[in-house]
Amino acid sequence: MTIKTFRGLLNTAASPAADIISKIRLKTRSGSTGYKIVKFSLMATSPSTNMEGVVKIYSVPQASGDNVIDFSDPTLIAAGLITQSATGQNYPEDQTIYFDNIIVNQDMFIYSAGGDYDASVNYYLEMEVIKLKDNENEYVTLKDLKQTLPQHG
């Protein structure tokens, strides 16, 4: 099993009014490589920081980021909630992470938003690399593209 890792900082201190977005580039010309999340972790930027943050990973770009987690959204691949107090002996760091067991072959988008405190957060992502057969490639690509099209009805 081949694992590919991604990591980064979603820094609200640099632009507190803006949506914090990071793009994970997975798309290839042929689309014959798929990826499945096997580990997703969050970490505060400092142990002496009060922080509350929500990090969400989507299969398609979102209009904006917020701190609401809605598992009924089919484009939501993973979500994490992290809280930490500067006085760790009273309120230690805590995180809740969930991710879907799906295979993607298109780019993913990571959004971060905070609560009452700073929401700058580091993320670490491990993804299993999967060689897709032609019919799997078509299915995964069409599923991802269908989610990006406007819905009519």
d(CA 153, CA 151): 7
pLDDT at 81: 92
What is the torsional sign of CA 9, 13, 18, 19?
positive
Q: Which residue has the higher pLDDT, 144 or 55?
A: 55
Look at residue 137 and tell me whether its pLDDT is greater than 70.
no
The domains of the chain are located at 2-148
- The CATH number of 2-148, from 2.60.120, 1.10.10, 2.60.40, 2.50.20, is 2.60.120
pLDDT at 53: 85
Is residue 22 classed as helix, strand or coil in its secondary structure? strand
Highest mean pLDDT pick, 63-72, 88-97, 131-140: 63-72
pLDDT at 40: 96
pLDDT at 153: 46
Average pLDDT for 41-63: 88
Is residue 46 classed as helix, strand or coil in its secondary structure? coil
Highest mean pLDDT pick, 5-9, 22-26, 66-70, 113-117: 5-9
Q: Which residues contact 114 (CB under 8 A, 6 or more apart)?
A: 12, 51, 52, 53, 54, 67
Contact predicate 61/22, CB 8 Å? no
Contact predicate 77/58, CB 8 Å? yes
Look at residue 149 and tell me whether its pLDDT is greater than 60.
no
- What percent of the chain is predicted at pLDDT more than 70? 77
The amino acid at 151: Q
Contact predicate 37/115, CB 8 Å? no
Look at residue 151 and tell me whether its pLDDT is greater than 80.
no
d(CA 36, CA 40): 11
Contact predicate 37/127, CB 8 Å? yes
Which residues are 110's β-sheet partners? 22, 57
